[in-house]
A and B are shown apart, each in its own frame.
Chain A
Amino acid sequence: MIRLDGVGKTYRTRRGDLVHAVEDVTLHVAENEFVTLVGPSGCGKSTLLRLVAGLTPVTRGTIAIRDEPVREPFADVGFVFQQPVLLPWRSVLDNVLFSVEMLGLEPRQYRKQALDLLELTGLAGFETKYPRELSGGMQQRVAICRALLPDPSLLLMDEPFGALDAMTREEMSLELLRIWEERRKTILFVTHSIPEAILLADRVVVMTPRPGRIARILTVGLPRPRTMEAEFDPRFKAASEDVRGLIFARRGAR
């Protein structure tokens, strides 16, 4: 579904230095595949997500979605950030409807679907609350509902659980998997948590920094649907050792 071929992104800082945020990334993602991008800060994983979203243009290479080259943002995508960035003056329901509204669709026709999504994410009964009345985890669920409402075939998630506490984080990962089982879509998920990357993914893309590039792509062979028990599976342990090795080997070499 997504094809990145030889993608590179070079920034110029204010001082005029060139920064190679992403270099020579080639990655093909299949329809309904769950791919996680994991790596330390500065490895270009978030930049890669912005490139795929069409929010920033590539410097080199090509990105195509369903054979359509990405030149600007396209409508069939949902974005979830590390912060929920909800609109504080809108109720939970109106925040979920924000996405269809910005897309130029009629929000009234999406009311039922929005309520269904809130139900699916365990937010039934909170429709009329303001965001600040919700916990961090609940706010992020609202942000996920907002991204899911137009039913995009591609979901881009930039460390969506990074700001949550460890317990809420595990809970949210499993919940995301449950939602994904119910409404299949292609997901590109950025994280710097290795267990999170493995638990969620069909394939884990391990990235290393300066310049940001792919170290290796690992296929996670764990059966689905996955539960917290998956972490005790020897395959899980093997995979996390692989990822750890790839990230820290490079650091050790320096």
Chain B
Amino acid sequence: MIRRRVVSDYLVPAATLLGVLLAWEAATRAFRVPRFVMPAPSAILAEGWDWRYRFLGHAWVTLYETLGGFALSIAVGVPLAVLIVYSPVLRSALYPLIVLAQSVPKIAIAPVLLLMVGHGEFPKVIVAFLVAFFPVVVDTATGLAATPPELLDLSRSYRASAFKTFVKVRLPMAMPFVFAGAKVAITLAVIGAVVGEFVGSDKGLGYVILSATSYWKTELAFSSMILLSLMAIVLFGAVSLVERLVCPWLVPTVDE
């Protein structure tokens, strides 16, 4: 049983990936595809290895922008959701604004932001935040509103204060929703940081992709992209791990 699971969960996808890479390598060699059109996986790997020390610095910048934007999206998004759920006036005041902010293409905001707050990492943090905060607000608000009415009645029948009910019932009840939003937000924050870097920067993995393509160094752009995906996967995994630590009741103790 366990062996079958290892095969289906790890070996099959690993073999598929390896097969795709081999086919890719073979195709680029067989058809003599120019490396600036489609580099072979081996060339991408070699270029990435050459760049390993320089990548470290760029990856750090992008990571820092992503985490900054993500942290802001949680710090702003969760309280905003609380306000929306608790106050009907604020809900009608804020909700249209939030939806409006969401509907503006972030790639269009980025150059304007750069004008407003100047260069450096900060505007990228803001772009990452703007891209990431919407799912946090919506999911947290949904979670807070989903408290079973019986639990709210129960709290009221014990004459518990609204604050106590929030801390002991509503917020923990909404935690799975907050994490659902956070998981979407962390991957969006990576996109936001790269979009910010595209618009104007001299550091970061997004900058590396942009400058590599302008010099026809497609292998470098590819290795930078792979690094970005790896970063997004690791960050997503980290949020999932925190979720397991914060909400252990969501993880089944017995494997069914």
Quick check: A88 and B249 within 8 Å, CB to CB?
A: yes
- Is A87's CB within 8 Å of the partner chain B? yes
Tally chain A residues at the interface, Cβ within 8 Å. Answer: 25
B158 with A75: CB separation less than 8 A: yes
CA distance A88 to B253 in the complex (A): 13
Chain B 151-167: CB-based contact to A (< 8 A → 1; otherwise 0): 10111111110001100
Q: Kindly state the interface size class of chain B when it binds its partner.
A: 20 to 34
Of A13-21, A22-30, A99-107, A168-176, the stretch lying at the interface with chain B is A99-107
Q: Which chain A residues border B120 with CB–CB below 8 Å? A: none
Closest chain A CB from B179 CB (angstroms): 13
- A130 interface contact, C-beta 8 A: yes
Chain B residues whose CB sits within 8 angstroms of the CB of A88 once the complex forms: 249-250
Distance (whole angstroms) from the CB of A227 to the closest CB of chain B:
31
Closest beta carbon of chain A to B244's beta carbon, Å: 13
A110 at the interface (CB under 8 A from B): no
Interface of A is mostly: loop
Please encode chain B, from 165 to 200, with 1 for each CB lying within 8 Å of some chain A CB and 0 for all others.
100110011010000000000000000000000000
Find out whether the CB atom of A75 lies under 8 angstroms from the CB atom of B156.
no
Mask: chain A, 41-55; 1 = CB below 8 Å from B; 0 = not? 000000000100111
- Whether the pair A81, B169 counts as a contact (CB closer than 8 A) is no
Q: Is the interface of B mostly helix, strand, loop or mixed?
A: helix
Cα–Cα, bound, A132→B249 (Å): 9
Is A83 among interface residues, defined by CB-CB distance under 8 A? yes
CB within 8 A of B164: which of A72, A74, A102? Answer: A102
State whether the Cβ of B247 lies closer than 8 Å to any Cβ in chain A.
Answer: yes
Interchain nearest-CB distance for B255 vs A (Å): 13
* Complex CA distance for A50 and B254, rounded to whole angstroms: 39
Interface residue B150 (Cβ < 8 Å from any Cβ of A):
yes
Proximity bits, A132-145, B CB within 8 Å = 1, else 0: 11000000000000
Q: Which residues of B contact A79 (CB under 8 A)?
A: 153-154, 157
**Residue contact A102 to B249, C-beta cutoff 8 Å:** no
| B159 nearest CB neighbor, chain A only | A73
Residues A133 and B253 in contact, CB atoms below 8 Å apart? yes
Residues of B contacting A101 in the complex (Cβ-Cβ under 8 angstroms): 168
Chain B residues near A77 (CB-CB < 8 A)? 157
A228 CB–B CB distance under 8 Å: no
Interface residues of B (CB under 8 A from A): 148, 150-151, 153-160, 164-165, 168-169, 172-173, 175, 247-250, 253-254
Q: List 19 A-B contacts (CB under 8 A).
A: A53-B153, A55-B156, A73-B156, A73-B157, A74-B159, A79-B153, A81-B153, A85-B150, A85-B151, A88-B249, A88-B250, A89-B247, A101-B168, A102-B164, A102-B165, A102-B168, A103-B159, A104-B160, A130-B253
